[in-house]
Structure 1
Amino acid sequence: MAVKYMDLVEVDLGRLATAVSDWKSAVDKLKTAAQNARRGMKAKSEKARWAGANATVTRGFVTKTTKEIADLHTEANSIYQVLNDAHTELASLQKQIKTAVQADAPTLGVRVEDIGDGKVRCYFQHIRGDTDERTQDQLDAKQELENRINRLIAHAAEIDASVARALRKSHGSDPHNAGHSSYKSLGDAQSERAAELAKLGPKMTDKQFTELNSIMKWNAKDADFSTAFYKSLGGPEETLDFYGRMALEGTQGDDNKERLALTRQLQRNMGHALATATDPDNEPRLSASWGEDFRKLGTRPIEIYPGAPNSPHGYQILGGLLRYGNYDAEFINPIAEHVVQLHHKDPDFFMNNKPVTGGADLDWGYNPSGKNGAGYDPLTSVLEGLGHSPEAAKSFFTDEPTVYKEDGTVDKNGTLGYHYFEVLNGKDFEWAPDSLVHPGSDEAQHAREMGPDALGHALEAAVTGDAWDADPPELHRDSDTAEIMKQVINRYNVASEEGPPPEVMKDSLAKMGASYIDDLNYSIMNFGGSGDALGRDALFANSSDGSTRTSFDEQKARNFMMLVAGDEEGYKSLTSAQQLFMASGLAAFETDEDRGITFAQNAAKVHGILDESRSHGIREEFKDPEEAQQMLQEQNGEWRKSLVSGGVTVAATAGAAILLGPAVGVVAATAVPLVMESAGSAVSTAYGNHTLEYLKDHEYTNDPQALQAVQDVEKVGERAATQPVLRFAQNAGMNNNEATDLINEIEQSYLAGKAAISNNEKVAS
């Protein structure tokens, strides 16, 4: 019977603690008894001169009795260890679920309901007179709470099942024969069971498969478990054989969706476990020879089914595992380097052994996830692996390369002649179509986009210091990540000789730009203007490594923003980050009016750059005059007519507008452009919050109310972005004339940013 919600909340773990104590006492007493038996009657029996029947009966009895006492001690210790671990883990889970239910849920105004089958649902309780309307943040928080509670229950259920199984095997089925399976910990018992199930391979029933996944899900990041599991498979080649058979069996055909879902879970669980087991900081861990053997097997056919044609190369199977887990650079980077070098030498090396489908499932392969390829191109796989391994990704793009021979061994005398960043981001790089679709078809062309998408993920991890899909993400920037970002900006801008990025990379470029919005502002600051006179570095006092600010080439920084913000989603990402950055800085300079004004001017200029970049992008998208006019009439996008200083005026470019307002008392409604329909929809994106948290930790001492004003669109509507400047003017004690001057200065800076892009459009064309 599965553990239920109330089971975990209400169970009296004190009784389990008492049982643990009792078994510990029994273990100690049996240990003494076993020692006495061994040192006493067993020792005397061995020394005695037995004759006749005593030589066989009595001596044998003494030997058997001594062994039984020792076995009883072993069994008791095994039970104690398992129960002790179970109590520790269940107590932790119970504490977490009580916090979630008794503290977090009431804070959110949420009720928790048991819906059976070991799951709950969370819902907002109706309050009389309430509209029951909830913000997206509230809905997200409710869902996060529900998911968290369900994970805790599922984890408790796995512990309960593992304990019951371990106790049965420790005790055995013979009441007259003590000493059976012996475990040093609950994890030891779980490792044994996982190994038993894995030996069944594709013959596992769905129930057994579910059990294996459940065990692995909660233990994949435990070094003891993961190392023991991989050793139980035999070695690198046996690992590839096992996973390869499971992947092919799980992706064959579209009918058995449950089996496919289980196979996807296995891929994820085995990937995380492999990352844990190969981390040199963990103990225990797999030896370094595993990485070396994987490289040797990388170009060798692995006969999953002996005699079958098109046996996969080792890297094709391994790639499915590398897509999940945060791998150490010592393990994944030699593999990634080897794969890139093989691809550079022969782009079709791995594609040449793809099976001929003959109408088979096009998703059949070694990447059950179905994300970015079927798994025949290991280059896409290792780039996805780097996308989840930020430290490794950073090293991959910055360290001196190591040259490898085709068999995966180091070529000590070899020279490469190229850098991975340049070759992978080159306009002529040939990406493989990682799919079983027919070559030359439209589908095959689409399949070639999977590699660039994975490259974008790897670059995201390298420049942000976090997995590309981390939730929630955290920035971990340093001089190396900034140097890679500089390479990204130099390569991807509207004036790049290498050409534009693939469409699938644009979302990654936008996230990278949002993560470096402070350095982009720093780079745009006019070196010879007032910013320099006031001390440009003082305006941008802190940086990623705490010492020096990264300055990108001003022209290239502007061209990068023009490229990224020309796209709607890229514009949203950069603009939301810019709003947060502006609010952060202005709140810090309220006691330094001159620097605050200079900071605001530069920030407004960046807003102008972003707005005009999007305007240019729209003009490119709607070059036909009728289409452009229709777009303006329908007003479906973020670009809206807005107020201008002193009254209502329309700034009618291709939908672009300035958000200015009339003076109101001492504080004027200042010129902070917000040309999105909903500020909150952009600011609440992951990388908006990503940037916000980084700014809080590394940049300025923030005014929480000023930052909240940017995010809380429901309270301030489309004027959300004006709030930081309004607060700055008010808190700085500006009079009417000073406020008016501030409006004019910021408006001129904003227009200067727009003009810089307008003058640059001929470059983009």
Structure 2
Amino acid sequence: MALTYTDLVEVDLGKLGSAVSDWKKSVDMLKTAAENARTGMQAKSDKARWAGVNATVTREFVTKTAKEISDLHVEADSIHTVLVDGHTELVALQKKIRTAVQQDAPNLGVRVEDIGEGKVRCFFPHVRGDTDERTQEQLDAKQELEDRVNRLVAHASEIDASLARALAKSHGGDKHNAGHASYGSLDDAQAERAVELAKLGPKMTDKQYMELNSIMRFNAKDADFSTDFYTSLGGPKETLEFYGRMSLDGTMGDDKERLALTRQLQRNMGLALASATDPDNRSHLPASWSSEFRKLGTQRVELYPGAGSAPYGYQLLGGILRYGNYDARFINPIAEHVVQLHKKDPYRFVENKPTVGGSDLDWGFNPSGKNGNGYDPLTSVLEGLGHSPEAAKKFFTDPPTVYREDGTVDTNGTVTYKDYFEALNDKDFTWAPDSLAHPSSDEAAHAREMGPDALGHALEAATTGSAWDADPPVLHRDEQTADIMEKVINRYNVASTDGPPHEVMTDSLARMGAAYIDDLNYSIMDFGKAGDELGRARIFGDSSDGSAHRSFGEQGARNFMMLVAGDEEGYQTLSAAQQVYTASGLASHEGAPDDGIAFAHNSAKANGILDESRAHQIREDFKDDETARNLAMEKQGEWRKTLASGGVAAGVAAVTAGATAVFLGPAAGVVAATAVPVVVEVVGSTLDTGYGTHTLQYLEDNEYKNDPEALRSVQGLEAAGERGAWVPVNNYADTIGMTQAEKLELNREIEGSYRDGKDAISDAEKVSQ
């Protein structure tokens, strides 16, 4: 019977603590008894000169008794160990759930109800006179609380079940015979059970599958558990065989429940492998696992005897690598080997796939269904790098190491590219379709976009220092990430001779741009407005290590912004980040009006660049359809109105609502911070501007500090001129004490800067024609 919410909240774990103490006493006494038996009667028995019946009966009895006392000590020690671990974890979980229920729920005005079977529901109780209407933010907070409580209950239930199972195996059920399973930790017991289930392979029932996933879900990031699990599976080859059989089983046919279980296993195995292969963890797999995976990568791994065909090791490993934050020492040699194999023969792996009939096009080694079936390991390792920021950074900056076919290092080998950024961003690079669809079908054509999409994810991780889909995202920018971002800007812009990016990469490029919105603004700053380079540095602030903002060059930054903002989603992402950045920037200059006005001019210029970039692309897209063009332009205008009329102002308020607000000011230290995502309503749809706002959180923690009231004073956004240069100028002007006449003049000047930005794009448009 599963542990319930009520059980966890109300149980007195002090009794379990007392049992732990009692067992410790038993362990100590049995240890003494076992030692006495060994050095006392057993030693005397061994030295005695037995004869007759005593030589067989008495001597055997003494030996057996001494062993039984020793076994009792081992059993008691095992029981005590798992009790200690279980008690520690349950106490921690109980504390968390009590905090959630007794503090977080009342603060949200929410109640928690036990609905049985280890589940709860959270709801807003009706209050007389209340309309019962809730904001989306309130509903999201309630759901987050419900999910959190259910996770805590599920985790406690898994601990409870593992503890009961370990105690039963330690005892063995035979009151006349001690000496059964012995565990050095609860992790050992959980890993043992996980492997017991894994050995069943596809024969696992759904119930057993759920148990395996439950154990792995809560222990995958525990290096002790994950290392034990993979070691017990047998090795790299056995790991690939198990994963391959389970993947094919789960993606075959239309069993949605089985597929869901297989997707969970894929994620769990990835997270566990990342934990187990990190050399910095106390427990970890030997480095030989990476080299063995490389060796198996180009070999066929037979999943079923006599099947007639078999996948390559890399096709199997790729499915696991899609999840987890991997250490560069493990994943980068694998990624390098895969890229080099792909460069030699782009179709080597994808041609090794089954010919399936009917509509079963999901069959393969990527149960997640995201970016391919799993037959192309290049897409898989790029997705792995997209979740491994430090590894991705090194992958795109370190010089290549050449590998032979078997994955061993070729010290005399050479490649034709200086790094993997150059190799993968070559306009002539061939991306293979990772799909079972017919080669001439639309599905197969779409499959060629999956590799570039994964490349965008890997570049996001490399430039931001955060997994591309992290929630919440956390920025870790440094000189190396900025170096890669500069390469991105030089490669992907409207003037690039290497051609435009794959359309599927635009969302990644937009998020990267939002993550560097400060450096993009810095790059386009007019020296005439700043006075000189020192003035520009003062206006934007330097980082704490003394290095200035990275300048990508005005033309380079503008051309990148033009490319990204030409796309509707890219335009919205950059615009949202720009608006909040503008409000925050002005707040930092309350005591330095000249710098604040210069900052406002530059922000208006950035807005002009973004607006005209989108307008230019709309004109290009709808040359022959005036109605569609006007509708698209109107939609852009509505987006701008939303920003000006309170969307971004509300976003700023949301950012300031947390424990740490977002402000700009003097330089501070280079550290990472968690973002507060801002959701802005745009023409009936919702846009998540998390990257823009977590950029600002990063800026607040890394570069700027200021009085919270300064930001609140500029939350009202005003239109600066008929063309809609939406910058928080007027309230800032009030803050610094401008007269009405001075404010009007400032608005006209800001409008001029906005037009400068638009004209820069118009001029670029004319040149391109």
Query: Structure 2 length normalisation: TM-score?
Result: 0.91
Contact 1:680 1:712 in 2 (8 A): no
Sort the Cα spacing of 1:763 and 1:425 in 2 relative to 1 into closer, same or farther, 3 A: farther
Contact 1:576 1:679 in 2 (8 A): no
Structure 1 distance, partners of 2:640, 2:286, is: 64
Q: Classify the secondary structure of the residue corresponding to 1:181.
A: coil
Alignment of 1:369-408 (within 5 A): 369-408=368-407
Q: Identify the residue that residue 37 of structure 2 maps to in structure 1.
A: 37
Alignment of 1:255-294 (within 5 A): 256-294=255-293
Structure 2: gaps spanning 5 or more residues: 645-679, 718-723
Contact 1:122 1:143 in 2 (8 A): yes
Structure 2 distance, partners of 1:482, 1:629, is: 37
Q: Classify the secondary structure of the residue corresponding to 1:535.
A: helix
Structure 2 distance, partners of 1:679, 1:384, is: 33
Sort the Cα spacing of 1:360 and 1:305 in 2 relative to 1 into closer, same or farther, 3 A: farther
Contact 1:72 1:179 in 2 (8 A): yes
Contact 1:619 1:628 in 2 (8 A): no
Contact 2:600 2:727 in 1 (8 A): no
Q: Classify the secondary structure of the residue corresponding to 1:177.
A: coil
Q: Classify the secondary structure of the residue corresponding to 2:699.
A: helix
Alignment of 1:185-264 (within 5 A): 185-254=185-254, 256-264=255-263
CA displacement 1:7-42 (0-9 Å, x = unmatched) = 111111111111111111111111111111111111
Q: Identify the residue that residue 740 of structure 2 maps to in structure 1.
A: 736
* Pair 1:749 & 2:742 matched: no
Q: What is the Cα-based RMSD across aligned positions, in Å?
A: 2.4
CA displacement 1:146-195 (0-9 Å, x = unmatched) = 11111101100100100111111011121100121011111111011111
Structure 2 distance, partners of 1:431, 1:41, is: 75
Aligned residue pairs, count? 727
Structure 2 distance, partners of 1:169, 1:558, is: 67
Contact 1:576 1:682 in 2 (8 A): no
Structure 1 distance, partners of 2:546, 2:338, is: 36
Structure 2 distance, partners of 1:707, 1:246, is: 54
Q: Identify the residue that residue 342 of structure 2 maps to in structure 1.
A: 343
Q: Classify the secondary structure of the residue corresponding to 2:112.
A: strand
Sort the Cα spacing of 1:97 and 1:550 in 2 relative to 1 into closer, same or farther, 3 A: same
For 1:747, give the aligned amino acid: E
For 1:22, give the aligned amino acid: D
Contact 2:220 2:275 in 1 (8 A): yes
Contact 1:588 1:700 in 2 (8 A): yes
Structure 1 distance, partners of 2:575, 2:247, is: 42
CA displacement 1:218-264 (0-9 Å, x = unmatched) = 1111111111111111111111111111111111111x111111111
CA displacement 1:404-452 (0-9 Å, x = unmatched) = 1111111100111213212212222111110111112111101111111
CA displacement 1:674-703 (0-9 Å, x = unmatched) = xx9749977852213311211221122144
Structure 2 distance, partners of 1:415, 1:119, is: 58
Structure 1 distance, partners of 2:715, 2:687, is: 6
Structure 1 distance, partners of 2:689, 2:6, is: 35
Structure 2 distance, partners of 1:201, 1:711, is: 58
For 1:444, give the aligned amino acid: A
Please, which moves more after superposition, 469-478 or 352-361? 352-361
Structure 2 distance, partners of 1:417, 1:93, is: 54
Structure 2 distance, partners of 1:625, 1:351, is: 41
Q: Identify the residue that residue 366 of structure 1 maps to in structure 2.
A: 365
Contact 2:716 2:731 in 1 (8 A): no
Cα deviation, residue 704, structure 1: 3.6
Cα deviation, residue 543, structure 1: 3.6
Alignment of 1:92-171 (within 5 A): 92-171=92-171
For 2:275, give the aligned amino acid: T
Structure 1 distance, partners of 2:198, 2:716, is: 51
Q: Identify the residue that residue 52 of structure 2 maps to in structure 1.
A: 52
Alignment of 1:566-581 (within 5 A): 566-581=566-581
Contact 1:316 1:377 in 2 (8 A): yes
* Pair 1:329 & 2:333 matched: no
Structure 2 distance, partners of 1:499, 1:632, is: 25
Contact 1:323 1:382 in 2 (8 A): yes
Q: Identify the residue that residue 506 of structure 1 maps to in structure 2.
A: 506
Q: Identify the residue that residue 686 of structure 1 maps to in structure 2.
A: 690
Q: Classify the secondary structure of the residue corresponding to 1:114.
A: strand
Structure 2 distance, partners of 1:544, 1:617, is: 39
Sort the Cα spacing of 1:300 and 1:360 in 2 relative to 1 into closer, same or farther, 3 A: farther
Structure 1: gaps spanning 5 or more residues: 646-675, 714-719
Percent of residue pairs bearing the same amino acid type? 71
Q: Identify the residue that residue 69 of structure 1 maps to in structure 2.
A: 69
CA displacement 1:295-318 (0-9 Å, x = unmatched) = 111111111122323311110000
Sort the Cα spacing of 1:641 and 1:463 in 2 relative to 1 into closer, same or farther, 3 A: closer
Q: Classify the secondary structure of the residue corresponding to 2:208.
A: helix
Structure 2 distance, partners of 1:546, 1:177, is: 70
Query: Structure 1 length normalisation: TM-score?
Result: 0.91
Structure 2 distance, partners of 1:401, 1:176, is: 64
Cα deviation, residue 613, structure 1: 1.2
Q: Classify the secondary structure of the residue corresponding to 1:639.
A: helix
Alignment of 1:540-551 (within 5 A): 540-543=540-543, 547-551=547-551
Cα deviation, residue 637, structure 1: 5.4
Q: Classify the secondary structure of the residue corresponding to 2:121.
A: strand
CA displacement 1:528-562 (0-9 Å, x = unmatched) = 44442761111111348652210002112101111
Structure 2 distance, partners of 1:89, 1:246, is: 31
Q: Identify the residue that residue 467 of structure 1 maps to in structure 2.
A: 467
Sort the Cα spacing of 1:488 and 1:748 in 2 relative to 1 into closer, same or farther, 3 A: same
Please, which moves more after superposition, 432-441 or 109-118? 109-118
For 1:741, give the aligned amino acid: E
Cα deviation, residue 625, structure 1: 4.3
Structure 2 distance, partners of 1:565, 1:703, is: 32
Q: Identify the residue that residue 355 of structure 2 maps to in structure 1.
A: 356
For 2:117, give the aligned amino acid: D
Cα deviation, residue 132, structure 1: 3.4
Cα deviation, residue 764, structure 1: 5.0
CA displacement 1:694-718 (0-9 Å, x = unmatched) = 12211221444565688899xxxxx
Structure 1 distance, partners of 2:273, 2:447, is: 27
Sort the Cα spacing of 1:626 and 1:741 in 2 relative to 1 into closer, same or farther, 3 A: closer
Cα deviation, residue 394, structure 1: 0.3
Structure 1 distance, partners of 2:697, 2:135, is: 21
Q: Classify the secondary structure of the residue corresponding to 2:114.
A: strand
Contact 1:479 1:545 in 2 (8 A): no
Sort the Cα spacing of 1:166 and 1:253 in 2 relative to 1 into closer, same or farther, 3 A: same
Q: Identify the residue that residue 654 of structure 2 maps to in structure 1.
A: none
Q: Identify the residue that residue 662 of structure 1 maps to in structure 2.
A: none
Please, which moves more after superposition, 34-43 or 589-598? 34-43
CA displacement 1:496-548 (0-9 Å, x = unmatched) = 11111111100000000000000000000013444427611111113486522
For 2:118, give the aligned amino acid: G
Sort the Cα spacing of 1:260 and 1:544 in 2 relative to 1 into closer, same or farther, 3 A: farther
For 1:251, give the aligned amino acid: T
Structure 1 distance, partners of 2:350, 2:559, is: 37
Q: Identify the residue that residue 27 of structure 2 maps to in structure 1.
A: 27
Sort the Cα spacing of 1:544 and 1:325 in 2 relative to 1 into closer, same or farther, 3 A: farther
Q: Classify the secondary structure of the residue corresponding to 2:335.
A: helix
Structure 2 distance, partners of 1:712, 1:465, is: 33
Q: Identify the residue that residue 556 of structure 1 maps to in structure 2.
A: 556
* Pair 1:758 & 2:757 matched: no
Contact 1:494 1:562 in 2 (8 A): yes
Sort the Cα spacing of 1:479 and 1:377 in 2 relative to 1 into closer, same or farther, 3 A: same
Structure 2 distance, partners of 1:679, 1:596, is: 31
